[in-house]
Structure 1
Amino acid sequence: MTRAVPKSGKPGRGQRTPAATRPIARVCVDVPLAHLDRLFDYQVPVEFEETAVPGCRARVRFAGQLVDGFVVERAETSEHTGRLAFLERVTSPEPVLGPELAALARAVADRYAGAMIDVLRLAIPPRHAKVESEEPAPPPERNEPPDSTGWQRYARGPAFLDALKAGRNAHAVWQALPGEDWPTRLAELAATVAAEGRGSVLVVPDHRDLARLRDACERLAGKDAVVALSADLGPARRYRAWLAAERGTARIVIGTRATAFAPVADPGLLVVWDDGDDLHADQRAPYPHVRDVLVQRAHQTGAALVVAGFARTAEAQLLVDTGWAHPIDAGRDAVRATMPRVTSVGEHDGQLARDPAAHAARLPSMAFDAARAALKAGAPVLVQVPRRGYVPSLSCAQCRAPARCRRCAGPLALPVSGGEARLPRCRWCGVTEAAFRCATCGSRRLRAVVVGDKRTAEELGRAFSGVPVRTSGAGEVLSTVDAEPALVVATPGAEPVAEGGYGAVLLLDGWALLGRPDLRASEETLRRWMSAAALAKPAGEGGRVVVIAESSIPTVQALVRWDPAWHAGLELAGRTELGFPPAVRMASIDGSPDALAAVLDELELPDTGEVLGPVPIEGDPDGKERALVRVPRAQGKALAAALAAAQSVRTARKEPDPVRVRLDPLELI
């Protein structure tokens, strides 16, 4: 349904004449207010009849001000009976907002109770006029489908490739084998689709994964057929790559989060790798997740979809359980042939190091021996630690209460080793605490709760004298390491790829990951463990993985057996019983107590809706509160619509206190 815009409060530029054909432009104006989340009608002046094409950028006068907007469509008539304002200017005739992208942006905004213009701000990069004026490259030539024998190790792999060649809208959840060259496997899928003349969109979490995937795609499909999108490209290079996708001069588009909206021509394949990584969740309103965007896009376009990774999320398992997607996984014989030997060592099972060096390095004898054997065989050893820094968390040595700053109550830590920095320092305000005294028991002694990568590297350097020690994390992330003896200490997500694989992978301080107060703690822990363990050599080549955690924990059992589907099933069953996503749709509403109470009072929920809270947000300096609202999955659209309506009422009233709404947030507790 079209909407009419109020006429301009200022006189136009002389007597302007409407266009002869389709004189009405329906515009999505760049005004981020919930009650204005609709299309407005403007007249197209005759001078813009040819350039004001659907999808172009334009400038319009709205409420007396010039604002940007997108022409979504042109029409012959308007439902508005009064006088309409004219388009002020066509910023660019480039049709950057095609019908498919407009429909996707509208659907994503509706799913997340957001505004369409906010989604378009995520989906369409800023204009770069010089790049836009460049002559477009010719479409790439079709190549022959690549060799795809690597997919024969998976039960449904060949059938999925046949579906891609036939253009069917197949949906799959791919469980990659340990040590799998996943960039090559995904590049084979994309090149197969490109050989049929269709496009592919592949989304990965970070730039390191992007570099590996780009190399694989260019090797199989050719450089001319591939473009990469990421924020670190810079405005010109990013917009040039985006235009190549929009103009159809590149059939394979790969990149990070925002690439899920890439306007590839005739999409035949959509892929998200490692969908459990929190980098796939956008931190800007309306906070969409790449997996959900691609699922919505697969619904609308009929493209095939692959949700892939070494681990499996509860959301991916739900796609399998409902029959919407089929699993692509290998048999147990293939898993056992490719996985390393995984052993768990409990914190309290009595396995202490047999020599002083091992004790100093916080390694049980089994982990110490595995590392020493791998180094002796000439292979590197990966050591995963949960936190970066030196000693990022301290507590009272007597009563175990968290060590807090006397000035701001922030957590105390040891940032680095040596000199004055050995004194604990507040992680919030940076003040050094030279005379700590526990507020609970009065003790002055401190103990480390979690040891960071810097301290671990220091300890390992003493335990393995003469072996080079490298760290990867925060600002110094390594992409690869050579196939030579070395200790590589990395935080989760920063593990470099070793040529030929690691001889041993040590997963330290498992309790620090499993003990986090987070609904997804066990799922995220297994994902991090499996991502690191997948970099090890197979057991037949001496590959070992030692995880420092109790063997009775289901998450540890899933790693030992390399069975993430079983663990995802447990996670989904547990969340179904407790009433948490993805078994239900849930929204978190944050705001001041008065604003939150007003929203909850006016919220028109379905009869099945349930409100949890509100409760104070821990550590919030403004005293904000949070309420959770949940409904059955079938009522998810009604919940999103109710929240959008409540936000519209607030912005229409010009309420001063902002309220943040997020649907299915990753962090619930």
Structure 2
Amino acid sequence: MSSTDGAGEQLAFIRETVRRSRPRAARGTELAAELPVARVLVDKGVLSLDQYFDYAVPAAMAEDARPGVRVRVRFGARVGASGRREGGALHDGYVVERLASSDYAGPLAPLARVVSPECVLTPALLRLCRAVADRYAGTLADVLQLAVPPRHARAESEPSPAPLPPPPAPEPGSWARYPQGPAFLGSLAAGHAPRAVWTALPGPDWPQEIARAVAAALAGGRGALAVLPDGRAVARVDAALTALLGPGRHTVLAADAGPEERYRHWLAVSRGSVRAVIGTRAAVFAPVRDLGLLAVWSDGDSSHSDPNAPHPHVREVALLRAADEGAGVLLGGLSTTVEAAQLVATGWARPLTADRETVRALAPRIRTVTDHDQARDAAAQAARLPSVAWETARDALTRGPVLIQVPRRGYLPRLACGRCRTPARCRRCAGPLEAGGADTPPQCSWCGTPETDWHCVECGSFRMRAQVVGARRTAEELGKAFPRVPVRTSGRDAVLATVPGTPSLVIATPGAEPLAEGGYAAALLLDGWALLNRPDLRAGEEALRRWLTAAALVRPAGAGGTVVVVAEPTARPVQALVRWDPAGHAATELDERVELHFPPVSRMASVTGSPQAVADLLGLLRLPEGADVLGPVPVPAGRGEELERALIRVAPGRGAALAAALKAAQIARMALRTGEQVRIRVDPPDIG
């Protein structure tokens, strides 16, 4: 008998044991006269318990224990000889359905209590969460923790406002710049479900365009949902919707709202008081009634991939939901992902783009220069800028602010030996060393240990050099090169929303670029090699997305707007930026993925853990037909850990079988009491 067969038998034994050890009711419990059985999803994110359990419904709870409400149940209790329950901890759960009888032959434990009569788990939301759990090899309970916010009694006790009638269909506005834009809005307003991949034009108008698409769906008598990558983008669309429709027609579900306020807004959506929602990642699960439009902005942004198990991606959840509820889809952004290009190539969605003349009229001028340009004057050397970039900044500062995008935060985030260029590492954990400031000693970026007496293990040198320069060091250097110009920084520690339209230098990390009043006069995109040389399948796509995001904030070329990108001019993403052709870049990337059989052409999962844990899981895994296993190979890990990763690739159409096989293998490892954890990600966003 193989180890896999033995694991399967143990798994069956565990499931039967769980089934027979369900909590049983005490004798004499009076049950509901009708539908006395409640099928409950117990909130325990354990793979082997990813199933429903039956409980008896006491007569006192018969009216409140409706499908979709929160309940408390005892799990793991037994019935003693006296007929009383013994043991069993209380757990949260949801009533999934009410039944006349159970397929379990023994007595059932009663519900401990109904937490609230509020129905929070609708049938549509349950179907969506089940589909997401199956797609990502996770548990339904884990997905529900992402989809349903925690309860707040005070918010639940307050009435939600009365729903407003549908607004009139909006005018096309700036959608008229796209040949198919008015027709897309008209289809939404007519109650249809169009599907489009939208390549937005540069400039500040995309929030108003999302607002008009939402308004068109509302005018058609259906709901609308727009998911954005961060709070700043949500705030811009929120302002655009309020200006277009007035207050009360939409609500915001974002992470920066307090738990009580967020739950209050969520309840207004669940109760049907509000039919339009905008928000960040978790908002994709918002229970909007009669959903007519699902819009996702910048689906290539890493914020759309949830860091919590089972790590669903907003784009994929939106596609699953649109298919189930018959909603329209709008995947929009300044750039185009390979996944979006595949939707266009297969005919699932239509492209929504402007013609080339309009793009050229609105885009800034793009200039390229390598970081090896030696023709620098003294000021350019002080600012570590090629002369073209320095001169562009000097000229633009006479007309307005200049944006400088730096790929890395901090001061000197990576150090190396000044003689042989060997990366400087911590003697305690081998982590990379970084400098937090000009007068602070280097320290380890993994364990934080200061390194006051470092020397190179290769050549013995005591001298260090910067391997990567961060945003704060760049601001320091530029402040010296332009001594009378204000310098502002925007990054993880403090993100600016806007800056004045007066001359200034704005140093920002990718994703933290503030808006400038009237647009930036110029932008410098530094250290392009740091983005292009990342060991990641998506490095080129991600570099182009970050560059386009910054360049779109610059004035058009006709108004003097110029962007200088410091990177190899022949690189494909650089050429796509020069032409302002993200859709063409994505189509070319897709063609390469077809040849390489990489996602999204294939489905893939990563398995990461200790070498023994990865080997154990692969040994228990029953691969679908035609599956390939790539690796395992070592992966970088901090604090002395030794990790390996294996990639498992299957053909299109076999993704569900792969997810099911991974889930079964994980359950089998639990049955064999293998303690080491393995991290599984289906369709991981980063493939090195």
Q: TM-score range by the shorter chain?
A: over 0.9
User: Residue 348 of structure 2 aligns to which amino acid in structure 1?
Assistant: W
Superposed CA deviations along residues 568-627 of structure 1, whole A, max 9, x for unmatched, are: 112222222223211111111122333322221121111200112222332253423221
Q: What whole-Å deviation, never above 9, does each CA across 1:419-471 have from its counterpart, x for those lacking one?
A: 3x1x3332223333333322122223222121111111111111112110000
Any stretches of 5+ residues in structure 1 without a counterpart?
none
SS of the residue corresponding to residue 420 of structure 2 reads coil
Query: Do the aligned partners of 1:394 and 1:403 also contact (CA within 8 Å) in 2?
Result: yes
Report the equivalent of 2:47: 34
C-alpha displacement of 1:337: 0.4
How does 1:303-314 map onto structure 2 within 5 Å?
303-314=327-338
Indicate if the aligned counterparts of 1:60 and 1:87 stay in contact, CA closer than 8 A.
Answer: yes
Find the aligned partners of 1:358 and 1:589 in 2 and give their Cα distance: 47
Shift of residue 167, structure 1, vs aligned partner: 1.9
Q: What amino acid is aligned across from residue 384 of structure 2 in structure 1?
A: R
Match of 2:388 among 366, 371, 376: 366
Residue of structure 1 in register with 2:655 after alignment: 636
Instruction: State the match for 2:86 in structure 1.
Output: none
2:401–2:506 Cα contact (<8 Å) kept: yes
Q: Distance in 2 between matches of 1:394 and 1:506?
A: 24
- 1:388 paired with 2:409, answer yes
What is the aligned counterpart of 1:503 among 521, 535, 544?
521
**Aligned residue type for 2:169:** P
Distance across 2 between alignment mates of 1:462 and 1:661: 48
Aligned to 2:85: none
The answer for the alignment partner of 1:660 in structure 2 is 679
In 1: Cα distance, 2:522 partner to 2:236 partner = 23
Q: 1:451 aligns with which of 469, 485, 488?
A: 469
CA distance in structure 1 between the partners assigned to 2:444 and 2:206 by the alignment: 42
CA contact (8 A) 2:366 2:562 kept: yes
| 1:637 positional shift | 0.9
Structure 2 matches for 1:404-553, cutoff 5 A? 404-417=425-438, 419=439, 421=440, 423-553=441-571
Q: Aligned partners of 1:217, 1:363: CA distance in 2, in Å?
A: 41
Identify the residue that residue 629 of structure 2 maps to in structure 1.
Answer: 611
* 1:287 lines up with 2:311 in the alignment: yes
Task: Give 3-state SS (helix, strand or coil) of 2:269's partner.
Answer: helix
- Displacement, 1:74? 1.7
**Runs ≥4 residues deviating over 6 A:** none
Q: Is the 8 A contact 1:7 1:84 kept in 2?
A: no
Matched, 1:228 2:246: no
> 1:87 pairs with 83, 87, 111, which one?
111
Structure 2: gaps of 5 or more residues: 1-15, 78-88
Q: How far, CA to CA, are the matches of 2:178 and 2:419 in structure 1?
A: 54
Helix, strand or coil at the partner of 2:143: helix
Equivalent of 1:329, from 350, 353, 376? 353
Distance 1:520 1:612 in 2: 18
Structure 2 residue 139 is matched with structure 1 residue 118: no
CA contact (8 A) 1:287 1:662 kept: yes
CA 1:567–1:58 in 2, change beyond 3 Å: closer, same or farther? same
2:45 aligned with 1:23, yes or no? no
1:231, CA displacement in angstroms? 2.1
Equivalent runs, 1:217-296 vs 2, <5 Å: 217-296=241-320
TM-score scaled by structure 1?
Answer: 0.96
Of 40, 47, 65, which residue of structure 1 is paired with 2:60? 47
Q: 2-side partners of 1:336 and 1:458: how far apart?
A: 35
Deviation at 1:117, TM superposition (A): 0.6
Among candidates 206, 210, 217, match of residue 193 of structure 1: 217
Match of 1:557 in 2: 575
2:164 is the alignment partner of 1:140: yes
Distance 1:221 1:119 in 2: 33
Instruction: Out of 429-438 and 172-181, give the one that drifted further.
Output: 429-438
* Partner-residue secondary structure (3-state), 1:70: strand
What are the residue-to-residue correspondences of 1:334-349 with 2, within 5 Å? 334-348=358-372
- Number of the residue aligned with 2:646: 627
C-alpha spacing 1:410/1:592, structure 2 compared with 1 (3 Å): closer
State the SS of the aligned residue for 1:628.
strand
Aligned equivalents of 1:154, 1:188: Cα separation in 2: 14
2:359, 2:407 → 1: CA distance? 27
- C-alpha displacement of 1:645: 1.3
Match of 1:397 in 2: 418
CA distance in 2, matches of 1:478, 1:494: 7
Pick from 375, 382, 391 the counterpart of residue 352 of structure 1. 375
Is the contact made by 2:341 and 2:583 (CA closer than 8 Å) also made in structure 1? Answer: yes
Change (3 A) 1:86 1:404: same
Q: CA deviation at 1:8?
A: 5.1
**CA 1:357 to 1:216, structure 2 compared with 1: closer, same or farther past 3 Å?**
same
Of 321-330 and 19-28, more deviation after overlay is shown by 19-28
Look up the equivalent residue of 1:352 and give its one-letter code: A
RMSD between superposed Cα atoms in Å:
1.6
CA contact 2:181–2:352 (8 Å) conserved in 1? yes
The SS at the match of 1:15 is: coil
Amino acid at match of 1:451: V
1:585 is aligned to 2:585 = no
Rounded Cα–Cα distance in structure 2 between residues aligned with 1:623 and 1:404: 17
CA drift at 1:5: 5.3
Amino acid at match of 2:506: V
Match of 1:78 among 92, 102, 111: 102
- Provide the C-alpha distance between the structure 2 equivalents of 1:633 and 1:439, rounded to a whole number of angstroms: 48
| Contact 1:537–1:543 under 8 Å retained in 2 | yes
Q: 1:475 is matched by which residue type in structure 2? A: D
Distance 2:57 2:558 in 1: 71
Query: Counterpart in 2 of 1:594?
Result: 612
Alignment deviations for residues 497-529 of structure 1 (CA, whole Å, 9 cap, x no partner):
111110001000111111111121111110000
> Is the 8 Å Cα contact of residues 24 and 107 (structure 2) preserved in structure 1?
no
* CA deviation map 1:38-79 (0-9, x unaligned): 112222222111111110001112212221111111222332
1:211 and 2:235 matched: yes
Q: For 2:65, what is the secondary structure of its paired residue?
A: coil
Deviations 1:295-333 (A, max 9, x none): 000010010011110011111111111111111000000
Q: Quick check: 1:199–1:266 contact (8 Å CA) kept in 2? A: yes
| 2:85 is the counterpart of 1:62 | no
- Per the TM alignment, residue 9 of structure 1 is displaced from its structure 2 partner at its CA by 4.6
Residue 654 of structure 2 aligns to a residue whose secondary structure is helix
Q: CA 1:407–1:82 in 2, change beyond 3 Å: closer, same or farther? A: closer
The one-letter code sitting in structure 1 at the alignment partner of 2:421 is R
Shift of 1:226: 1.4
> Does the CA-based 8 Å contact 2:488-2:505 persist in structure 1?
yes
2:586 corresponding residue in structure 1: 568
* Alignment match of 2:668 (pick from 649, 654, 662): 649
State the secondary structure of the residue aligned to 1:599. Answer: helix
In the alignment, the residues of structure 2 paired with residue 200 and residue 287 of structure 1 have an alpha-carbon distance, to the nearest angstrom, of 24
State, as a whole percentage, how many aligned pairs show the same letter. Answer: 55
Supply the distance in 2 between the matched residues of 1:63 and 1:77 (Cα, whole angstroms).
21
In 1: Cα distance, 2:137 partner to 2:654 partner: 13
User: Which deviations, in whole Å up to 9, do the C-alpha atoms of 1:252-286 show, x marking residues without a partner?
Assistant: 11111100100011111101111111111001110
